[in-house]
Amino acid sequence: MNAMNTHYPDAVRVEPINRHTLAVIVDNEPGVLARISGMFSGRGYNIESLTVSETEVARHISRITIVTTGTDAVIQQIKAQLDRLVPVHRVVDLTLQGGSLERELCLVKVAGTGEHRTESLTLAAAFGAKTLDATLNSFVFEVTGTTEEIDRFIGLMTVIGLVEISRTGIAAMGRGSEAM
């Protein structure tokens, strides 16, 4: 029995699940991305977004941006396990730094004629999207913004005649003059 002498169990404490953006500096060598993604899948963690590119050619260094979700304890575990991997130089939780910038690029193909065609051009202009390709029946738009802005644009284009989507995933960086 609990402290109040009752037969009812204590209330289960539910921890909030938060979204975190992690920046990881790694050696640019074969198998690094496989090791990192294997660490996530082996422990049952989900990767919502993953981007990677070489950032320092002379030193063969790449930057990986990972968006994942979990309780505070799970996020701490993920960061600690990433830090232990041999090719990893540094792990920074941009969410905890506060004020980080996040952007995503999306290519959106929309088909339509007449009214739908005009409406898609108007919406694209409102979102600051560039028209990359135009035919008599379709457009391909390039839109850059936060994940929420991209989701809104896709939602509106779905009504008009969305055909295909290609998203890059999130690229993120902390504000200010200091390097990570």
Q: Give mean pLDDT, residues 34-42.
A: 95
φ/ψ of 17, rounded to 5, equals -100, 120
For residues 66 and 22, is the Cβ–Cβ distance under 8 A? yes
For residues 173 and 163, is the Cβ–Cβ distance under 8 A? no
Q: Give mean pLDDT, residues 17-29.
A: 95
Tokens of 178: 């200091």
- pLDDT, one tens digit per residue, over 50-98 is 999 999 999 999 999 999 999 999 999 999 999 999 899 999 999 998 7
Q: Cα separation of 173 and 60, whole Å? A: 20
- pLDDT, one tens digit per residue, over 108-161 is 999 988 899 999 999 999 999 999 999 999 999 999 999 999 999 999 999 999
pTM of the model: 0.84
Q: Cα separation of 129 and 140, whole Å? A: 10
Q: Cα separation of 54 and 114, whole Å? A: 44
